[in-house]
Amino acid sequence: MSWWLVWWVWLAISVTLGILEILLPVNVFLGFSGGAFGTAILVALGLDLGLGGTLLLFALISGAGILVLRLSLGGHRGTARIVERDINEPIPPRPEPPREP
């Protein structure tokens, strides 16, 4: 029996990727972990697509998982915060409002 048709292999891959997500939190390994878990469930139910089909199924489920995580958790914006003034600079006094005569 080939390794890609054994459900517990996919479950072990899922757990390994989940642990890797804890060690390196980049929100990508969690999507791949979900893809491996979904593939484990489908292989356990008897789905036999061959190596190429199983890897394609894993890729599609993982891609959907990464997309859902990116939309729900928010992705990296790629922009840095621009600091306009130093925190140690004194705050200039506010101008007083004009007084009515």
Domain residue extents for the chain: 3-73
pLDDT at 8: 93
**Inter-residue contact 65 to 32 (CB < 8 Å):** yes
Confidence of residue 78 (pLDDT cuts 50, 70, 90): low
Cβ contacts of 20 within 8 Å, gap of 6 or more: 29
Nearby residues of 21 by Cβ (< 8 Å), 6 or more positions away: 27, 28, 29, 30, 33
Give 90's pLDDT tier (boundaries 50, 70, 90). Answer: confident
pLDDT in tens, 18-53: 999 999 988 889 999 999 999 999 999 998 888 999
Whether residue 73 contacts residue 30, with contact meaning beta carbons closer than 8 Å, is answered with no
